């Protein structure tokens, strides 16, 4: 609506095509905006003849580039496909040609297919101790056996609680599981994700797998379970 703007040919202002000038209408050695292709008019009011000419020069280059680059990129792609058509990912995870020449010892250098990569977060990485106690510690520290049994019955079916042979041993296992979570968090912070960023890239969406499993088996987050905590710890 304001002005068409600077016209470009080969990434530069309009070059001198005549004797030290862009068009015969301009003086020699005229490097002003109008002479070098700056269109001050807009499409609403219309362009002057020389502005229209410069605009046509820029437009023509765009059309030619489109036609030429289509053919060039098409041929480049064909050559690439022909060169890579015998490349395979073998059962030992290496990438090899039909002559068994190794191109990569691990596909993509990380073994992951890029089209399946998803962005995930690890909440544990930035979680503080208070939040961990609230979310993962099964029993309040220092509570007696009766209080712990009452707490367990809130989430586990009563008949499962009654079948537990050694409740004190189970409490110890649950405490060890909680301490292991702390150790895992420290390992994540100091050894794996030293930058402190909790964004990771994986070819498997773990939260979606868990959600799908819950839906498949009809697991309701706030309902009591008939699984023994000892069985769950053993299997994990």
CB-CB contact of 181 with 123 (8 Å): no
> Lowest-pLDDT range, 19-33, 64-78, 116-130, 222-236?
222-236
Neighbours of 153 (CB within 10 A): 14
Q: pLDDT at position 143, please?
A: 72
User: What are φ and ψ of residue 39, in 5° steps?
Assistant: -95, 110
The percent of the chain in helix, strand and coil, each rounded to the nearest 5, is 50, 10, 40
What band does 85 get if pLDDT is binned at 50, 70 and 90?
A: very high
For 9-25, how does the pLDDT look when each residue is reduced to its tens digit (9 = 90+)?
A: 888 888 888 888 888 88
Cα–Cα distances (Å) from 181 to 12, 88, 186, 202, in that order, read 61, 40, 9, 21
Give domain limits for the chain. 5-83, 86-115, 117-235
Q: pLDDT at position 206, please?
A: 84
| Tokens linked to 214 | 């819950």
Is the pLDDT at 76 greater than 90, yes or no? Answer: yes
**196 vs 61, which has greater pLDDT?**
61
Going by C-alpha positions, the residue among 130, 129, 133, 167 that lies closest to residue 147 is: 167
Mean pLDDT over 118-143 rounds to 81
Our CA dihedral for 10, 11, 13, 14, rounded to 10 degrees, sits at 20
Q: pLDDT at position 78, please?
A: 95
CB-CB contact of 172 with 90 (8 Å): no
Is the pLDDT at 75 greater than 90, yes or no? Answer: yes
What band does 124 get if pLDDT is binned at 50, 70 and 90?
A: confident
For 139-175, how does the pLDDT look when each residue is reduced to its tens digit (9 = 90+)?
A: 777 677 777 777 777 777 777 777 777 777 778 888 8
CB-CB contact of 41 with 4 (8 Å): yes
Supply the pTM of this predicted model. Answer: 0.51
The H or E element containing residue 208 is helix 206-217
């Amino acid at each position: 609506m304001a002005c068409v703007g600077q016209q470009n040919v080969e990434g530069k202002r309009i070059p001198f095509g005549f004797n030290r000038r862009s068009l015969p209408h301009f003086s020699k050695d005229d490097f002003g905006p109008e002479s070098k292709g700056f269109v001050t008019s807009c499409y609403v009011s219309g362009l002057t003849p020389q502005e229209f000419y410069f605009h046509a020069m820029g437009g023509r280059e765009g059309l030619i580039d489109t036609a030429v680059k289509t053919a060039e990129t098409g041929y480049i792609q064909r050559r690439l496909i022909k060169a890579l058509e015998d490349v395979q990912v073998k059962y030992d995870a290496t990438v090899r040609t039909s002559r068994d020449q190794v191109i990569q010892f691990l596909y993509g250098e990380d073994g992951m297919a890029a089209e399946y990569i998803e962005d995930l977060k690890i909440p544990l990485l930035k979680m503080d101790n208070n939040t961990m106690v609230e979310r993962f510690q099964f029993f309040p520290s220092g509570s007696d056996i009766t209080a712990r049994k009452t707490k367990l019955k809130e989430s586990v079916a009563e008949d499962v609680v009654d079948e537990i042979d050694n409740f004190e041993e189970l409490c110890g296992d649950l405490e060890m599981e909680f301490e292991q979570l702390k150790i895992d968090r420290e390992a994540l912070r100091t050894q794996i994700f030293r930058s402190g960023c909790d964004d990771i890239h994986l070819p498997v969406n773990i939260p979606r797998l868990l959600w799908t499993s819950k839906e498949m088996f009809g697991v309701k987050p706030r309902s009591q379970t008939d699984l023994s905590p000892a069985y769950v710890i053993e299997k994990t």
